[in-house]
Amino acid sequence: MRILAIETSCDETAAAVLETPGTVMSSEISSQIALHRPYGGVVPEVASRNHVVMVRPVVEAALAGAGVGAGDIDAFAATAGPGLASSLLVGNTFAKSLALATGKPFLAINHMEGHLLSPFLGEAGGIRPCVALVVSGGHTMLLHLRGVGDYSLLGRTRDDAAGEAFDKVGKMLGLPYPGGPEIEKAAVGGDGEAYRFPRSMLDQPGFEFSFSGLKTAMRYTLEKVVEPAAALPDLAASFQAAVVEVLVEKAIRAARHTGENLITVSGGVSCNAALCAAFEARCEREGIALRIAQRALTTDNAAMIAFAAAQKVGSPTPLDADIDPNLALA
């Protein structure tokens, strides 16, 4: 079965064709980062206007890349939430129109379920019970995944998402948007112990996170730093070390709590090399298996949406179903 999925929840226009159970035939992403960079963040109106321009060429490129036409697709999927309302509407309407024109089913997909299941895409063993850490620009969640559709939330952030903290601190450090990859680059050669930033909520039981204190700590530190440019590698590495330690330790704690022997990591922040290295070292020491989403599947993409859709082909979504900017996962 071939699924065409469209992702337009935020600032990427993406389309992918997947052959079930998990062969990505094509995955196209048109990023709007350069358009939003002058504003230091995503501007919803700019995002939706650009999705309107790009959705058709991106879908056509995905079909061409897979060597198929719209008539060869068995189901059309689109992200229905969470995300920016006017952006979600573009991909949804396009996918529904294709479904209507071809008489094939439409599948509405939760963006976070796309991230959540992405570490299993291409995995021969299929989706297995695990503790899942989803770390993106909008969310930081620890979930207990027992099977497809059977998720319980162990904890989430009380304030900023981890990626959001990277982006805000990146701005404070004078780095371009988005801050995550820029901080990772700036941290190369820096000393992660040069500054001791707070490990928020690590001393408290449970699986909640908080990253706003870290942002404030960076602001106070910057006020005292005489030469911020010279201190940049150490500041970036120390900030990154604080975020990484909290994410890794809470995930390990959640694995012990649930008794699961597998941790998965996904979402935009999961392509951070320091985070991956720390997870690999800690999981090996604990004897816990680890699956981090393939790099191409970490930041927003439509292949992960198609893979989530592949799990739901038996229950199509009515064409009059609305998008939901606050769609919950668990």
The label of the residue with tokens 């930081």 reads 140
28 makes contact with ligand KG4 (CB under 6 A): no
Give the one residue of 22, 91, 105, 138 binding ligand KG4; rule: CB under 6 A. Answer: 138
Q: What is the nearest approach in angstroms of Zn ion to the Cβ of residue 94? A: 19
Q: 8 near 91, Cβ under 8 Å? A: yes
| Residue 81 interacts with which of Zn ion, ligand KG4, none, CB < 5 to 8 Å by class | none
Measured from each CB, the residue nearest to ligand KG4 is 268
Question: CA separation (Å) from 273 to 15, 104, 277, 283?
Answer: 26, 41, 6, 15
299 makes contact with ligand KG4 (CB under 6 A): yes
Rank residues 28 and 300 by Cβ distance to Zn ion and give the closer one.
Answer: 300
Rank residues 63 and 162 by Cβ distance to ligand KG4 and give the closer one.
Answer: 162
Contact residues toward Zn ion (CB under 5 A) are 136, 300
Q: What is the nearest approach in angstroms of Zn ion to the Cβ of residue 324? A: 15
Give the one residue of 27, 79, 272, 311 binding ligand KG4; rule: CB under 6 A. Answer: 272
Rank residues 98 and 251 by Cβ distance to ligand KG4 and give the closer one.
Answer: 251
267 makes contact with ligand KG4 (CB under 6 A): yes
Closest by Cα among 292, 288, 287, 289 to 244: 292
77 makes contact with ligand KG4 (CB under 6 A): no
Give the one residue of 114, 137, 192, 316 binding ligand KG4; rule: CB under 6 A. Answer: 137
Report the alpha-carbon angle 124-127-129, nearest 5. 130
* 150-156 β-sheet, strand order: 150-156, 140-147, 130-135, 262-266, 289-292
Rank residues 186 and 283 by Cβ distance to ligand KG4 and give the closer one.
Answer: 186
Q: What is the nearest approach in angstroms of ligand KG4 to the Cβ of residue 140? A: 10
What radius of gyration, in Å, describes the C-alpha atoms of the chain? 20
The label of the residue with tokens 């903290």 reads 165
Interface positions with ligand KG4 (CB under 6 A): 10, 136-138, 163-164, 166-167, 178-181, 184, 267-269, 271-272, 299-300
